[in-house]
Structure 1
């Protein structure tokens, strides 16, 4: 797909490039992403090519195609090609990292109250099945990057002090390790974390940094992993980059590839330590079985499409500006406030969180009812998609601003939410309080 010299105008004029249903207002790109028609055509043509001669494709042609896709995405995130492999999801990538690390007595795994539940469950599994201890730090809102960094360093220093004390007291053979799982962009609320500075703190304190960057590629410009230098980093390509769903990049710098002994599932290219000390990190992830590789290869078509739109800077400048303006407009309609009250909205990229005018209740069963109510009513009665959640003793809505959105989408959402908040209060909250 050729790059055109004049970028296409963003907004509703972009909608014909996607297969959305009539009058569907998609303000929830952050959950599942959306595949443009040119990327869908690429995947269809690739499928036809595969089926025309499966053996020729898989045995001869496929490796170079995968290598080209890895090279394109590596260049985009500022990494070396052989530091990047594809996996099916961020959850799969986090499993690959955390299950490959060796966990022994005294080891600590650090997370946050904002850690995505699927990732937190992997961390919990590690703590349940090994000798490692899981420590979750609460992030209290409202907050700022400065406070988050201060508290994070204090947590690490406290953890390392306790580990050192434990090491000296017990006389165990190996000094305990600490591993911190860091959000680049939190899912709920949709806020940007100071992950690069957190990675730097980890390096200074001798802690492994594992970055859950599920929302980063396509939303965050100038990632530059060679400079940021995390120990591990995982990001979906099917959310903000527009690749086909099931496409995720796992970055492991060469200094740490010996720690990732096996792909998950373990492939036939696994090399036992008894056979060789050389890492087979890249080749193991090349062929994890006869799966559909179209999602992995589609990243090239996705990048080409983004270039057609004007490139990363243009796309994300539009989306962030719309998120800020749309969030402000929505808060005015609902007569509430934005979640991000930090200076210069430093926690807001392309997702914005706005308070809902609802009575507050901490009961979990009520939370589930409210979320289900909003999800189904918005999808079926209003043809709108967003995410609602309960945090900081308030109800919030998370909106993802994408190239196909305009300010009028936030207006329509505001009208729908105003009506639904009244209905939810009458039909759910008040009866439960009586």
Structure 2
């Protein structure tokens, strides 16, 4: 009886242990849901892509199959949240990675939740199952590269059209007057005129008589005044407009290499873009997250990377020259446009991923902003804040709700 009870107890214990192990394994299983993969892709691009690729070794190891290589999912979570703590604990696998990659410590993502890390793993696993894509060849122009922005402004185009139209009208009037004079002269030739009138009708037209005529003087004065007015208006509209401005920077940083070829997300370097008014200029520490390992030319003290390393060692900030300037009277908030509005960086800054030297792509004038607010649909999807506004708008209009419909053209929105 006791043996039977003992055997039954052992079987029950094994079943419970097996069930617990199965539950634990399932709890740690990597999701294949599209929503999790999509969320993981966003997190990966914003936080991991600067140093990692899925199929390609970069600053850090390629992440394809990391869920199989690492000791456990819990180990991955601990390492992502605080790699230095895991390394300091004497963990064999962590120290192997640390030494293999020139003792470069991964940035601690202590703000990540377990769910965030699992979503990243879901994305990495989904990409692991796909064939590796070819890496871009340095020096090759990306397909569909945008051309340089021109400096012509909308007011100037209107003035050109108006001026050309007025000149054409004047020429037509002169032609019509010429025909009228010719017809009138033939008509008067058939009439009985006095000698004095005949002298007037038969008088020849010379260059001198034309230039001294009041009509010619009026035309000349009109053209000179029109051209002068156009020049004044063009200069007034160009005040504060720096389209095409591309100053020489203290370090020749190439967005074409970093954002284009290496596909580093803008938000990784410009950390303030999702949470503040300013996008912020990257600190030297952010640069050194990668250039702790990528040090081409730094050892000889030559090249652009050497300048970054020197700034880091001397603790002197790099004095970047600001390119995009707005007047003090104008308020612009990056987070409001990027996080809430979902506006892409290229919308205002142009094809930044193709620029070796960054230039101001857009006008950044009041009219340019207003035009955008009139044309842009409000991104209300998944944001309950807009539910009542969308309902009220749909009752009065059939068109999508634009930014101007929610106060986007109010003076106080931008001028405070």
Question: Which of 1 and 2 has higher RCO (CA within 8 Å, sep 6+)?
Answer: 1
TM class by smaller structure? under 0.3
- TM-score, normalised via structure 2 length: 0.24
- TM-score, normalised via structure 1 length: 0.23
Please identify which structure carries the higher strand content: 1
Larger radius of gyration: 2
